[in-house]
Amino acid sequence: MELQDIISADKEYVASTYARFNVAFKSGSGAKLYDFDGKEYIDCATGIGVNIFGVNDEEWKNAVKAQLDKIQHVSNLYYSQPQAELAKLLCQKTGASKVFFANSGAEANECAIKAARKYGNTRYGRNEIITLKNSFHGRTMATLTATGQDSFHKNFTPFLDGFKYAEPTIDGIYECYTEKTCAVMVEVIQGESGVNQLDKEFLRELEKFCKSRDILLICDEVQCGNGRTGYLYAYESVGIHPDIVTTAKGLGGGLPIGACMLFDKCKDVYTFGDHGSTFGGNPVSCAGAISIIERLTPELLLEVQGKGAYLKINLEHIKNVTAVSGEGLMIGISTTKPAKEIAKACLEKGLVVLTAHEKVRLLPPLNITKEEINTALKILNEVISQ
Ligand SMILES: *Cc1c(COP(=O)(O)O)cnc(C)c1O
């Protein structure tokens, strides 16, 4: 198929939920992508933070292929070696007690929402969850309700009861707090709404607020987790200890997987029959995820921090750039020009970037090279400063 055939088939047969760029990627290697005409791109998007070690990564592919040679799926009615191994690895690395595996970020958050409600309902008759304004937690009805952005809500009423949206300040939390509050859910760095780093002092106050009332603190690390910010999970950079951490995107290195990590307080909240998933914890996805998590060593995380700092310093010097946000290789760029236009112009010049609200967003693979970063900076400079 040529690009034009792909586009016409897509337009005719695929549900029109996505405004797509006029490109189809055919292959790649590390942070380089190739389209159907053989044009090369530097990838600063990794899907949307998914291909965490880039494309065609040997180590990840070997892990996935080795599992494919054994068995591609087992029902959760039976034990699964890759799932048990990945759960153990995640618990050892984070201090979590138990993990539920899903297939996506939204599903990981569904699991967290159900866990929080059961915890609150069974202990105190509490079932309200506070999320933040400008948050993004997914597209299913519960996670859409949890998402604190009106633009996603129109046309999909009625929503679930029991969600309140707070300003990201401790006063904002108090305004939404009632005797029914069972949990507060936050993204340490809000991805979709513009790589907005929450104030660390606020997060530490929030932790105290939650702990003193036995309200669960949930960190949605679907985007900012798995080494993305130069920490295994971004909450570590704040020094807080959430009760539930959800993740997905980069975890599988490109295959669908979501995880809801339950820490000590809620390790026994789920019992038989409470929750489940046919595909959840797929052995091939888990085998890929094990290889990803094993590689997120302290040395690699330091490298991510270094690459992020280098990118930030150089971005800040570009004409028309007004601010640079984020941590590690999760970066938001504010400029005086519309982000969508910048993304389009970058694509033409061979650089793939994302946008998030009015910002240009960079989520490059963690193994992007210095040379590739310099090429990306050169193109960004050309596009943004002109
Ligand atoms: C992408 C994202 C989700 C939703 O993940 P899906 O895999 O698309 O369901 C939830 N929370 C955050 C913070 C995200 O970035």
Distance of CA 19 to the CA centre of its chain: 20
Domain residues of the chain, as ranges? Answer: 60-295
Report whether residue 222 contacts ligand 1, using a CB cutoff of 6 Å. yes
Report whether residue 220 contacts ligand 1, using a CB cutoff of 6 Å. yes
The pLDDT profile of the chain, 386 residues, written as one tens digit per residue, is 789 999 999 999 999 999 999 999 999 999 999 999 999 999 999 999 999 999 999 999 999 999 999 999 999 999 999 999 999 999 999 999 999 999 999 999 999 999 999 999 999 999 999 999 999 999 999 999 999 998 888 899 999 999 999 999 999 999 999 999 999 999 999 999 999 999 999 999 999 999 999 999 999 999 999 999 999 999 999 999 999 999 999 999 999 999 999 999 999 999 999 999 999 999 999 999 999 999 999 999 999 999 999 999 999 999 999 999 999 999 999 999 999 999 999 999 999 999 999 999 999 999 999 999 999 999 999 999 98
**299 exposure class (CB count in 10 Å sphere: 0-12, 13-18, 19+):** exposed
Angle, vertex CA 102, rays to CA 105 and CA 252, nearest 5: 70
- What string of DSSP letters covers 155-172? T-PSPPSSEEEE-SSHHH
Report whether residue 131 contacts ligand 1, using a CB cutoff of 6 Å. no
Report whether residue 332 contacts ligand 1, using a CB cutoff of 6 Å. no
The pick from 134, 136, 235 for probing ligand 1's pocket by mutation, whose C-beta has the most ligand atoms within 8 angstroms, reads: 136
Report whether residue 225 contacts ligand 1, using a CB cutoff of 6 Å. no
Counting from 1 in the atom list of ligand 1, the atom nearest the Cα of 223 is 15
Q: Which fold has domain 60-295?
A: Aspartate Aminotransferase; domain 2 (3.40.640)
Counting from 1 in the atom list of ligand 1, the atom nearest the Cα of 191 is 15
Report whether residue 189 contacts ligand 1, using a CB cutoff of 6 Å. no
Interior/surface letters 177-215, b for 16+ CB within 10 angstroms, e for the rest: beeebbbbbbbbbbbbbbbbbbeeebbeebbebbeeeeb
Ligand 1 centroid to residue 192 C-alpha, Å: 9
